């Protein structure tokens, strides 16, 4: 590696300048230059250490450099790194089988199938195309919710609600309507036999970690079934254990026992390697896309699939779904118990949480947290998102809670 990047040891300021001169400015200036990670910790180019409470935006569920993940990926890369989708690989098949086991509590219904992509937006793009195939042209409408974030490619962007993301790229694929969040009456009024799909996030992550209100998903299932529309759940951020169940819709108070037609996964699926998956539940949805109608060079790549298998294995072996529930509860209760005047409450589920603020100073709070050695994310002007690795220890959670009053004081200072 030192031959390939001979000058790896450079101060952060040098890297930041080189970043600005080499990378397109789509993300703004990077906050730090990170060079190493271990468990829930990361280190920057100047040697400072941070507790990573964002995990690459809900991705690194096993933390950084997890030995099982490292050895699974290394072994796979040393055996068979990539094949085209003209061929199958055992890891790809095995991962699809594992996803079919965990996507619903009792396993996926007969006939269910998986399509692998490389990211959340790509998997949503596949879901969009699948929805277009439903009804053979007789169902031109697709319903989504206000506040929705489904990705940045053109189809996924058409499903995304935020004007600032959409407007510069008009015209987007048509037929998508955004309905008021959590409003069953509005959904009932909009639903019809010309609707191909209703696309929902069980917990809207980018909108500030907003779980769907109890009863909404059950009503959505009833209405979509009545009108023959597909119910597509975007669990890209909320799935793969992030909320303490394999899928957020498995929580009774969110999902109400609902079985969707399509579940979309990415982010935490392979613990940090790029992957996305579209899981079509039942034979009807699973056969909407036929040979030649969709494809990808890298999707289902053996290395990413091996990472997915290793991630699922460690979560099961180490009881990490329970850890997510326990640690999430500890964070939630500990932060609420501070009684800090800037904290309006904590919302979310498991380890997908937002500290709600009484004033729109999330940006300043996140900066104060970084200065104090914590990586968090100002997901909305008044919401600071926490999406830590599942291996976060109780001691690390308590460390944050102890340091939070000073961080909030600094971030909230007028």
Ligand X SMILES: Cc1ncc(COP(=O)(O)O)c(C=O)c1O
Task: Provide the binding-site residues for ligand X, judged by CB under 6 A.
Answer: 119-121, 124, 149-151, 201, 205-206, 234, 236-237, 266
Q: How far is the CB of 339 from ligand X (least distance, A)?
A: 31
SS3 of the chain: helix, strand, coil, percent, to 5:
40, 20, 40
Q: Is the dihedral of CA 235, 238, 242, 244 positive or negative?
A: negative
Residue 177 three-state SS = strand
Phi, psi of 170 (to 5 degrees): -65, 150
Q: How far is the CB of 272 from ligand X (least distance, A)?
A: 12
Q: How far is the CB of 78 from ligand X (least distance, A)?
A: 27
Q: How far is the CB of 297 from ligand X (least distance, A)?
A: 17
For the beta carbon of residue 318, count every other beta carbon within 10 angstroms: 14
* Closer residue to ligand X in complex, CB, 128/390: 128
* Helix segments in 78-145, DSSP class H: 90-102, 120-133
* Closer residue to ligand X in complex, CB, 104/206: 206
Q: How far is the CB of 236 from ligand X (least distance, A)?
A: 4
Phi, psi of 208 (to 5 degrees): 110, 30
* Closer residue to ligand X in complex, CB, 141/242: 242
Q: How far is the CB of 160 from ligand X (least distance, A)?
A: 8
Q: What's the CA gap between 298 and 319, in Å, rounded? A: 31
**Nearest by Cα to 202 from 153, 132, 256, 158:** 256
Per the CB < 8 A criterion, the answer to whether 327 and 388 are in contact is: yes
Q: How far is the CB of 388 from ligand X (least distance, A)?
A: 16
Q: Which two tokens stand for residue 311?
A: 């991630």
**Non-local CB neighbours of 317 within 8 Å, separated by 6+ positions:** none
In the 8-state DSSP scheme, what is residue 273?
B
* Closer residue to ligand X in complex, CB, 120/182: 120
Per the CB < 8 A criterion, the answer to whether 161 and 145 are in contact is: yes
Q: What's the CA gap between 153 and 172, in Å, rounded? A: 10
Per the CB < 8 A criterion, the answer to whether 349 and 244 are in contact is: yes
Q: How far is the CB of 327 from ligand X (least distance, A)?
A: 21
Q: How far is the CB of 67 from ligand X (least distance, A)?
A: 25
* Closer residue to ligand X in complex, CB, 60/237: 237
Residue 130 three-state SS = helix
* Closer residue to ligand X in complex, CB, 130/342: 130
* Closer residue to ligand X in complex, CB, 152/359: 152
Q: What's the CA gap between 308 and 100, in Å, rounded? A: 13
* Closer residue to ligand X in complex, CB, 149/181: 149
The HSE-up count of residue 289 (CA atoms within 13 Å, CB side) is 23
Closest chain position to ligand X (CB): 120
* Closer residue to ligand X in complex, CB, 120/211: 120
Q: What's the CA gap between 380 and 356, in Å, rounded? A: 9
């Amino acid at each position: 590696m030192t031959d390939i990047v001979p000058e790896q040891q450079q101060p952060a300021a040098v890297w930041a300048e080189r970043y600005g001169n080499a990378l397109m400015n789509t993300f703004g200036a990077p906050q730090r230059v990170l060079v190493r990670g271990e468990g829930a910790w990361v280190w920057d180019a100047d040697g400072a250490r941070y507790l990573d409470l964002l995990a690459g935006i809900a991705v690194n569920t096993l933390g950084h450099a997890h030995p099982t993940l490292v050895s699974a990926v290394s072994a796979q890369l040393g055996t068979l790194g990539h094949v085209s989708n003209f061929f199958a690989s055992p890891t790809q098949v095995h991962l699809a089988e594992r996803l079919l086991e965990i996507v619903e509590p009792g396993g996926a219904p007969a006939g269910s199938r998986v399509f692998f992509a490389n990211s959340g937006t790509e998997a949503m793009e596949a879901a969009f195309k699948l929805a277009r195939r439903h009804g053979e042209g007789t169902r031109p409408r697709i319903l989504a919710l206000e506040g929705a974030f489904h990705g940045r490619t053109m189809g996924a962007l058409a499903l995304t609600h935020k004007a600032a993301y959409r407007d510069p790229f008009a015209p987007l694929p048509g037929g998508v309507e955004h309905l008021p969040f959590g409003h069953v009456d509005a959904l009932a009024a909009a639903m019809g036999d010309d609707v191909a799909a209703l696309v929902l996030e069980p917990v809207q992550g980018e909108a500030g970690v907003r779980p769907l209100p109890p009863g909404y998903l059950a009503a959505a299932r009833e209405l979509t079934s009545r009108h023959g529309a597909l119910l597509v759940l975007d669990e890209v951020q909320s799935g793969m254990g992030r909320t303490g169940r394999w899928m957020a819709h498995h929580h009774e108070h969110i999902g109400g026992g609902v079985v969707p037609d399509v579940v979309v996964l990415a982010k935490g699926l392979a613990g940090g390697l790029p992957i996305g998956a579209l899981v079509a539940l039942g034979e009807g949805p699973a056969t909407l896309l036929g040979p030649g109608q969709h494809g990808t060079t890298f999707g289902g790549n053996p290395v990413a699939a091996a990472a997915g298998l290793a991630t699922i294995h460690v979560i099961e072996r180490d009881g990490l779904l329970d850890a997510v529930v326990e640690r999430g509860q500890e964070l939630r209760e500990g932060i609420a118990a501070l009684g800090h005047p800037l904290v309006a409450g904590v919302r979310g589920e498991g380890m997908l949480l937002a500290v709600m603020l009484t004033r729109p100073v999330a940006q300043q709070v996140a900066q104060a947290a970084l200065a104090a050695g914590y990586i968090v994310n100002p997901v909305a002007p008044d919401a600071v998102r926490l999406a830590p690795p599942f291996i976060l220890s109780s001691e690390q959670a308590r460390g944050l809670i102890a340091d939070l009053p000073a961080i909030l004081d600094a971030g909230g200072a007028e």
